[in-house]
Structure 1
Amino acid sequence: MRDDEPDVVAAARPERVSAGTSRRYLSLLVASLSLIALVCVTLLLPVPYVVLSPSPAFNTLGTFDGKPMISFPKDVKTYATKGAIDFTTVAVTRPEAHLSLADAMVAYFSPGKEVVRRSAIYPDGESAEDSEKVSKLLFESAQYSARVAALRAAGYNVRIVPVVRTVTKGYPVDGVLRRGDVLVKIDGKRMKSSLDVFTAVAMKKPGDRIAITYRRGGEQKTVKVKAAANPDDPKRARVGITMATPKIPFKIDFRTGSKIGGSSAGAMFALGIYDRLTPGALTGGRHIAGTGTIELDGTVGPIGGVRQKTVGAAENGASVFLVPAGNCADAALDADRRGRVHGMRLVRIDTLDDAIKAVGDLAKDPEATVPRCGAPH
């Protein structure tokens, strides 16, 4: 190579390297922008999930919009009380709303929130209107069951045997069941009350086969019928009977507004009614909160969103939280070394009687040994 060539060669190499590097940078830039665009689009796509969030708690012994939440006729003997028995609520993504992947990810990492499959809350094909109707129906059923369970616990004679009141001509059980028949089982599940029968049939669809076990006199039989469509709602089943409902001795009204639904307030409603119908303050002035469905016989059932409800209860000042036995494992996930959740004692309840006893024991002695999620403490 001659002495005058290096400058030419040296000048040519950087030019070729610069062009190649520019093309690589351009390719990298295009790929990066494409990836960012793809990620953005993906984050905005709807996902089949909903978010459960903590929501306010309401004192069943207090007022709602300036009036008593639970009220009784003037001629019914009630007793002054103190303290609080809160029913707790949880906010859920509305059925007509669609959660994006980004929203779900933010909620997943947010304290107190939970992301669950949409189908666990809203059955496939159920419209927003249908969802609201079901929620209100469950709320009304919870109030009715709370009345009956509380009255029975307070010593009133309220019979809850599921007895057929009427049979409608032209429907599946016409010519099979009669007025006065006692329904023992539906599809093998024991019926404890008329409400159980209503619920069992409501869960069916037109065309489903239903096995009904009934007792007439001293004889018990089982028949199978094909559910018909309910004329008021063709999507729901009907077999053609009405049930004799338990006779409540007096009216008990609830004031809760129109935005609360579902069945999870039942147990606390029953506890609030019982407290007002019996002498003394059941809580001893303490702030109690809890959740759980209630059956006519006082059985307490599990609910959804228990971890969110403990957050709402603690924020409202509760020191004790009553937990259905079936929710104990989930509720205890947030427990500290002392077994407390957000500073509250978790008390396990299987029945309304369990709740009454535990709350009464804690009123007498805040350190009393009561059932907890795991073992007595």
Structure 2
Amino acid sequence: MTRRSVTLSVAGALVVALVALASLLPVPYVVYSPGPMEDTLGEWNDAPVVQIQEGVETFETDGTLDLTTVGVTSADTELDLITVLRAWLDGDRAVVPRSTVYRDDETAEESREQSARQLARSQESAKVAALRELGYDVPERIVVVTVFEDSPADGVLEPGDVIVSVDGEDVAEPAEVAEIVQDREPGETVEFVLRRGDDEITVTAGTEPAEDDGRPLVGFAPDWGYEYPVEISIGIDERIGGPSAGMIFALAIYDTMTEEPLVAGTHIAGSGEITGNGEVGPIGGIQQKIAAAGQAGVELFLAPVANCDEAGEANGGDMQVTPVETLSDAIETIETFNNGDGASLPTC
């Protein structure tokens, strides 16, 4: 064997060894990929996705209104370099640092639970936004949404408690509750005046330091709660989670409760968080959602304004991608598109 042959053989063996090593070494990234879509005007488990209480008039819808999803590497899965490189070369997938998606110690079960809570909150906000758009009055109050196990709040506060005041201070926003608590020192107590059922009660809870930065925590999550004039339920695949379907849920409710079909035979999709006041917020994985919608033959995709720059780089084919800021914007956009004036709409 010549020296050249020996050199090539050694080099080839080294390349094979390096590739094998790279396939074994975990890297701190996760991959976003296009996920499945669900028609919110259709059915899930043989029942309409959107169901309105008996006695409230509803109307036939026409067309498809898809919520879009993104597949994300599970919290308990470590990716190797080869897998990440393949995803990086795929225009419909994205590679992002693991730390932007998961905590260092986050488990797959914790991630699923958080995603389910986000989905539930998005559905509540969607109901409120749609009902208000339809002219209903939907009173709101600050409530305890979650009480964390083994925290100082456990056994003191209960989900559904209405928060009236914190340490003698009236609160007007959920964020104000956290601000008052974080003005205390870890170990100090906090007094809450609550409405629980028909009773107004006063309770006291301790605080403990957060593991990451030592700020004082009581161990519960406050958020808006609502008094619904119309009961609405939303049934969807339990594997779907996160907050980003809120806008599409709101549009589906609105379409179901208005006499003239909104979607009107068109294939529409989109993604966006929504507040009870109808404001549409940014979401993750917009490029993968647009890619999935484009491949499915969607005609119009509604994207949050804040995601428009990213959306403009996505591979949506001939599909029109239009930015929206509010639920009212989204409704007007669909109406304009269905009237044949889609060219007048802004695009990403």
> Under a length normalisation based on structure 1, what TM-score does the superposition of the two structures give?
0.73
CA contact (8 A) 1:299 1:350 kept: yes
Separation in 1, partners of 2:104, 2:62: 44
Report the alpha carbon displacement of residue 121 of structure 1 after superposing the two structures with TM.
Answer: 1.5
- The change in CA–CA distance for 1:32 and 1:132 in structure 2 (over 3 A counts) is same
Separation in 2, partners of 1:51, 1:22: 45
2:226 aligned to 246, 249, 254, which one?
246
What amino acid is the match of 2:331?
A: I
* Secondary structure of 2:131 counterpart: helix
1:186 aligned to 175, 181, 188, which one?
175
Separation in 2, partners of 1:242, 1:44: 43
Q: Does 1:60 align with 2:51?
A: no
* Secondary structure of 1:285 counterpart: coil
CA contact (8 A) 1:271 1:352 kept: yes
Separation in 2, partners of 1:52, 1:70: 28
1:177 aligned to 160, 165, 168, which one?
168
Report the alpha carbon displacement of residue 326 of structure 1 after superposing the two structures with TM.
Answer: 0.8
- The change in CA–CA distance for 1:134 and 1:36 in structure 2 (over 3 A counts) is same
- The change in CA–CA distance for 1:175 and 1:47 in structure 2 (over 3 A counts) is closer
Separation in 2, partners of 1:87, 1:280: 21
The CA deviation string for residues 286-338 of structure 1, in whole angstroms up to 9 with x for no partner, is: 11110000111111111111111011112222100000011100010137xxx
Q: Does 1:282 align with 2:271?
A: no
The match for 2:198 is none
Which structure 1 segments of 5+ residues have no match? 1-20, 188-196, 210-224, 336-340
Separation in 2, partners of 1:250, 1:175: 31
- The change in CA–CA distance for 1:28 and 1:240 in structure 2 (over 3 A counts) is closer
The match for 2:292 is 312
The CA deviation string for residues 2-31 of structure 1, in whole angstroms up to 9 with x for no partner, is: xxxxxxxxxxxxxxxxxxx75674465345
Separation in 1, partners of 2:18, 2:31: 24
The match for 2:129 is 149
What amino acid is the match of 1:269?
A: F
CA contact (8 A) 1:50 1:115 kept: yes
Which range is displaced more, 364-373 or 77-86?
364-373
What amino acid is the match of 2:29?
A: Y
Greater gyration radius: 1
The match for 2:160 is none
2:64 aligned to 71, 75, 84, which one?
84
Which range is displaced more, 322-331 or 341-350?
341-350
The match for 2:327 is 352
- The change in CA–CA distance for 1:41 and 1:250 in structure 2 (over 3 A counts) is same
- The change in CA–CA distance for 1:157 and 1:121 in structure 2 (over 3 A counts) is same
Which structure 2 segments of 5+ residues have no match? 146-152, 158-163, 189-204
Report the alpha carbon displacement of residue 177 of structure 1 after superposing the two structures with TM.
Answer: 3.4
Separation in 2, partners of 1:176, 1:147: 32
- The change in CA–CA distance for 1:202 and 1:142 in structure 2 (over 3 A counts) is farther
Report the alpha carbon displacement of residue 356 of structure 1 after superposing the two structures with TM.
Answer: 1.1
1:1-377 alignment runs, 5 A limit: 22=2, 25-26=5-6, 29-160=9-140, 162=142, 176-177=167-168, 181-184=170-173, 186=175, 207=186, 227-228=207-208, 237-238=217-218, 245-334=225-314, 341-367=316-342, 369-373=344-348
Report the alpha carbon displacement of residue 65 of structure 1 after superposing the two structures with TM.
Answer: 2.6
The CA deviation string for residues 41-75 of structure 1, in whole angstroms up to 9 with x for no partner, is: 12321111111111121111111232211111221
Backbone CA RMSD of aligned residues: 3.5
CA contact (8 A) 1:87 1:289 kept: yes
Report the alpha carbon displacement of residue 38 of structure 1 after superposing the two structures with TM.
Answer: 2.5
- The change in CA–CA distance for 1:274 and 1:186 in structure 2 (over 3 A counts) is same
Separation in 2, partners of 1:202, 1:46: 40
CA contact (8 A) 2:290 2:314 kept: no
CA contact (8 A) 1:164 1:183 kept: no
Separation in 2, partners of 1:93, 1:208: 38
* Secondary structure of 2:342 counterpart: coil
Report the alpha carbon displacement of residue 370 of structure 1 after superposing the two structures with TM.
Answer: 2.4
CA contact (8 A) 1:163 1:182 kept: no
Report the alpha carbon displacement of residue 104 of structure 1 after superposing the two structures with TM.
Answer: 0.6
